Amino acid sequence: MQSMNVDALWINVHLATLDGAGYGIIDDGAIAVRAGRIAWLGPRSALPEEMVPALTHDGRGRWLTPGLIDCHTHLVWAGSRAREFEQRLNGATYAEIAAAGGGIRATMWATRGAGDARLRAQSAPRLRALLTEGVTTVEIKSGYGLEPETEARQLAVARALGQSLRVHVVTSFLGAHALPPEYESRADAYVDLLCTRMLPDLHAQGLVDAVDAYCETLAFTAEQVARVFDAARALRLPVKLHADQLSDGGGAALAARYRALSADHLEYSSEAGIRALAQAGTVAVLLPGAYYLLRETRRPPVDALRRHGVPMAVATDCNPGTSPCTSILLMLNMACMLFGLTPEEALAGVTRNAARALGLHGDRGRLAPGLRADFALWDIEHPADLVYALGARPCVGRVVDGISADPP
């Protein structure tokens, strides 16, 4: 019999493959890796006799899932907005604080003023916190520079953090996050700058994997976003959108029109908007942290998303203003408790559907032969424990590209 050489084999693990409709549980399973990809998986009883592993790991009855994917973060920034949080608890609104020069602009000043070393030092702990919860891929947006140099530095720091902390980083250019003070009441001129200079330059430097925009009354109009998306399309870059978070600005339909990878937030999206997302194959990214911290009362239309078959992802939205959150597991719980997802839907939202929201569905987010060997190992009794327990620290290991990368 011909031998089947593999680099590593995990036995004595329960698998939740997240491949197919639900958890995809394989009790007492085994999973083998070759050249950073999944070579084989199944029940241990079906392990091919001819398999010759260079290394065998005993999972000691733990659970192994796809590495978690946080598909929407603004994780690289400098400074703190704790005082604005306090102001809001004393009665000021998010919009009032923004109008008074705080909000995104406050973080912009702090980020512009921080050197690379400080930007990196302040951002790394946030990324480390995500890694302790089994995250193996994280999306990180720019959008706190709002001028060419600082936007580039944010994206470069994001890439560098990924390399030093053993996690895959996917970057999104979010120059259209807020209007910088230099362009006060000249929003269209700023959009010109984004389309003709910033995006092409950053793309040429290899810093951009996707393009995002904030479509909202206090940010950019649908027409302005469409121009940014046209510029992205000219460079063959995929797009995503902060859509209908605080009001129905037709964001879902706009995202669908450009076949966006994802439309994110969606609290105020209409039924027609949801139908358009379904037709375009766009993922709905739900962000319960922002909903919670804004004390929003309108929930995203989860029933309509289900009815129309729109895949739902869940993410931290890690940002200093509306979601200072570095716990993807807490988001799983909140997605269920606040938005009515089931635990299976929530877990799919940080694995297979999160991969889809990044255009990486064929590469990761599930346990299946040929996919990237990114895993999380858990000391739990059942996958629902990941959603249920608040403040637990169940992650006991991460595997990135087939190689163990213990939680920091």
| Residues 79-118: x where in contact with ligand DI6 by CB under 6 A, - otherwise, as a string | ------------------------xx--x-----------
Which residue from 242, 361, 364, 372 is in contact with ligand DI6, where contact means CB under 6 A?
242
325 φ, ψ (degrees, to nearest 5): -130, 130
Minimum distance of ligand DI6 from residue 210's CB (angstroms) = 15
Q: Around Cβ 348, how many Cβ atoms within 10 Å?
A: 26
Span 155-194, contacts to ligand DI6 by CB under 6 A? 177
Minimum distance of ligand DI6 from residue 173's CB (angstroms) = 13
Minimum distance of ligand DI6 from residue 66's CB (angstroms) = 25
Cα 209–213–214 angle (5° rounding)?
A: 150
Q: Around Cβ 52, how many Cβ atoms within 10 Å?
A: 10
Secondary-structure breakdown of the chain: helix, strand, coil percentages, each rounded to the nearest 5: 40, 25, 40
Minimum distance of ligand DI6 from residue 219's CB (angstroms) = 8
29 φ, ψ (degrees, to nearest 5): -100, -175
Minimum distance of ligand DI6 from residue 322's CB (angstroms) = 4
Binding partner at 133 among ligand DI6, Fe ion, none, C-beta below 5 to 8 Å by kind: none
Task: Using CB under 5 A, list all residues that contact Fe ion.
Answer: 317
Nearer to Fe ion by Cβ, of 73 and 136: the residue is 73
Q: Do strands 168-176 and 25-34 pair parallel, antiparallel, or not at all (unpaired)?
A: unpaired
User: CA-to-CA distance for 186 and 182, rounded, in angstroms?
Assistant: 9
In this structure, what token pair is assigned to residue 207?
A: 């810093």
Contact predicate 176/219, CB 8 Å: yes
CA contacts within 13 A on the Cβ side of 313:
32
Nearer to ligand DI6 by Cβ, of 64 and 261: the residue is 261
Q: Closest Cα partner for 220 from 168, 260, 256, 183?
A: 183
| Sheet of strand 283-286: strand arrangement | 68-70, 135-141, 168-176, 210-215, 240-243, 262-265, 283-286, 312-314
User: Would you give the end-to-end CA distance of the chain in angstroms?
Assistant: 42
Binding partner at 169 among Fe ion, ligand DI6, none, C-beta below 5 to 8 Å by kind: none
Span 276-335, contacts to ligand DI6 by CB under 6 A? 287, 290, 317, 319-323
Minimum distance of ligand DI6 from residue 287's CB (angstroms) = 6
Nearer to ligand DI6 by Cβ, of 214 and 220: the residue is 214
| Residues 388-407: x where in contact with ligand DI6 by CB under 6 A, - otherwise, as a string | --------------------
Q: Which residue is nearest to ligand DI6 (CB)?
A: 321
Binding partner at 107 among ligand DI6, Fe ion, none, C-beta below 5 to 8 Å by kind: ligand DI6
Nearer to Fe ion by Cβ, of 216 and 317: the residue is 317
Q: Do strands 37-43 and 51-53 pair parallel, antiparallel, or not at all (unpaired)?
A: unpaired
Binding partner at 349 among ligand DI6, Fe ion, none, C-beta below 5 to 8 Å by kind: none
Nearer to Fe ion by Cβ, of 139 and 317: the residue is 317
Contact predicate 224/191, CB 8 Å: yes
Nearer to ligand DI6 by Cβ, of 196 and 217: the residue is 217
Minimum distance of ligand DI6 from residue 212's CB (angstroms) = 9
Tell me which residues touch ligand DI6 (CB under 6 A): 74, 103-104, 107, 177, 214, 242, 287, 290, 317, 319-323
